[in-house]
Amino acid sequence: MIEHNELIILLLGLGVLVFIRLNISHLRQVTAFRVLLASYGVVVGGFIFTVLEGIGWEKLFNILEHISYMASILMLLIWCWLVFVRKEKNRQ
């Protein structure tokens, strides 16, 4: 069964995607933006899997949801490393 709060989270996530699309020209200048965008994309994927979890294949989508969150945080960690460590080294 689809829960309202999960649907709201998904809508909020999609709204943020629209925001990103609208400001993509500025955001492209952010270091390793693709990694950050991918991280967010995977989170949105997790939101989708959460919603889909209520419709069917509950176990599969649940696993996919958790994998998505994990992947998202790992990519965020990579982005942080690229921004705070690698870029500094290059600058030096």
Partner 1 sequence: MNIAVLDVISTIAGLCALLLLICRWKKALTRNTRLILGGLMLVNICFTLCLFFKWSGINTGLVIIEDSVGMLLPLWWAFVFYALMGESISKASGEREAALKKEITERQAAEERVKHSNLELMSITENFSGGLLMETPQRTIEFVNAAFCRMFAIPFAPEQLIGCNCREAAEQSGLLFKNPADFSAGIEAIIKAGEKTQFELLEMKDGRYVERDYVPVLDKDNLLYHLWIYRDVTRRVKAEKAIEHAANEWRATFDSISDMIAIVDNEFRVLRVNKAFAARFGKAPKELINSLCYRIVHGSLAPREDCPYTKASQTGRPATTEFYEPAMGISIEATASPIYIEDNRQTGAVLVIRDVTERKMLQQQLVLQDRLASIGELVSGIAHELNNPLTSVIGFSDLLLQRDFPPDAKEELDYINKEARRSAAIVKNLLAFSRQHPQEKTAVDVNHIINQVLELRAYAARNKKITLVSDLTRELPPVLADAGQLQQVFLNIVLNAEQSISAARGGGTLTIKTGRRDGQVAISINDDGEGIPEEFMDRIFNPFFTTRDTGKGTGLGLSICHGIITQHQGRISVQSKPGKGTTVLIELPSIE
Q: Which residues bind partner 1 (CB under 8 A)?
A: 5-6, 8-9, 12-13, 15-16, 19-20, 23, 26-27, 29-31, 36, 40, 43-44, 47, 50, 62-63, 66-67, 69-70, 72-74, 76-77, 80-81, 83-85, 87-88
Q: How far apart are CA 87 and CA 33, in angstroms?
A: 13
Tokens 């995977």 belong to 42
Min separation Cβ 20 and partner 1, Å: 6
Is 32 in a helix, a strand, or coil? coil
Min separation Cβ 81 and partner 1, Å: 6
